[in-house]
Structure 1
């Protein structure tokens, strides 16, 4: 996983629970990187999952809630670091299409080894969008949070649900976004 995710996760944790809590997580997680993350580095995905697991245990929250909260928080951070042209998309549905058709293509140009999720759009109307979230990392709750962060950024009200979820025993994750 790209280092920017870890750097932003560090900032997220410190903002919510403080620098001492972040240091406590690093001490207990015994990470190969020792938590010395840079935005341009690449790190083992398991390091993020280990940190999330510790947060779940220490803060008595679910992994779903932890991933969702981080996704929602990090949207603005990733948006600010996004390639030129991304800021032209002002609608939630338009932006989600741009993730697949523009943003991830630009990210791959800069980081050819980046393993990015893919969206397969299943249906769309003026008020509803359904897409299959595909990623070996299975961070669908993080993706839900990103969509909520996107909605807040665009000042559009949406409901985000999953009609199918691998964590619930389904074969895939399908996110449903409804404008209200």
Structure 2
């Protein structure tokens, strides 16, 4: 997992919960990296799971809810770091439909060894999109949060539902209907 995911996560934890909580979750997580991350480095996903689980225990907020909170922060990082990429889209459904064939292509140019989820478009209409998310990391709540923030960015709204295809969350079907 790319280091930017870790550095931004710890920045979020510090801003929402304080530096003491950052220190506590790093200390309690017994991380091979010792919690020292660079944005361009690559780290084990197990470290993110450990940080999330310890933060969840500390805050009594579920891991899924923490992933939603984090995705909101991460979307703002994407908008400020890659404004030209975001500006190429005029519509949230257009942007979401292009994750696999445009956005992830651009991400791989910057981070060639990034392990990204896949998003297969199952159906698309003018006002709806059905996508199949696949990732061994099962971070579909992170994806859900990014989808909500995409609509918010375009001053729009949608009803987004999901069905787990695989119980572990490694395959999830998202149905997005513009309101």
Residues 10 and 22 in structure 1, CA contact (< 8 A), matched pair in contact too = yes
The TM-score with structure 1 as length reference comes to 0.92
Q: Which runs of 5+ in 2 are unaligned?
A: none
Q: Which runs of 5+ in 1 are unaligned?
A: none
Greater than 3 Å deviation, 4+ residue runs: 83-86, 168-171
Report the alpha carbon displacement of residue 169 of structure 1 after superposing the two structures with TM: 5.8
Q: Which residue of structure 2 lines up, in the alignment, with residue 107 of structure 1?
A: 107
Q: Which residue of structure 2 lines up, in the alignment, with residue 172 of structure 1?
A: 171
Tell whether 2:146 aligns with 1:150: no
Residues 160 and 176 in structure 2, CA contact (< 8 A), matched pair in contact too = yes
Report the alpha carbon displacement of residue 71 of structure 1 after superposing the two structures with TM: 1.1
Residues 4 and 40 in structure 1, CA contact (< 8 A), matched pair in contact too = yes
Q: Which residue of structure 2 lines up, in the alignment, with residue 116 of structure 1?
A: 116
CA deviations 1:52-103 (Å, max 9, x no partner) are 1111111112121111111122111123223743321121111112221111
Larger mean Cα displacement after TM superposition, 79-88 or 8-17? 79-88
Would you say how many aligned residue pairs link Structure 1 and Structure 2? 179
Q: Which residue of structure 2 lines up, in the alignment, with residue 79 of structure 1?
A: 79
Q: Which residue of structure 2 lines up, in the alignment, with residue 60 of structure 1?
A: 60
Find the residue that maps to 1:85 and give its secondary structure: helix
Residues 83 and 103 in structure 1, CA contact (< 8 A), matched pair in contact too = no
* Cα 1:145/1:29, change in 2 over 3 Å: same
* Cα 1:17/1:169, change in 2 over 3 Å: closer
User: 2 CA distance for matches of 1:178 and 1:37?
Assistant: 38
Residues 76 and 153 in structure 1, CA contact (< 8 A), matched pair in contact too = no
User: 1 CA distance for matches of 2:82 and 2:170?
Assistant: 31
Tell whether 2:39 aligns with 1:39: yes
* Cα 1:170/1:140, change in 2 over 3 Å: closer
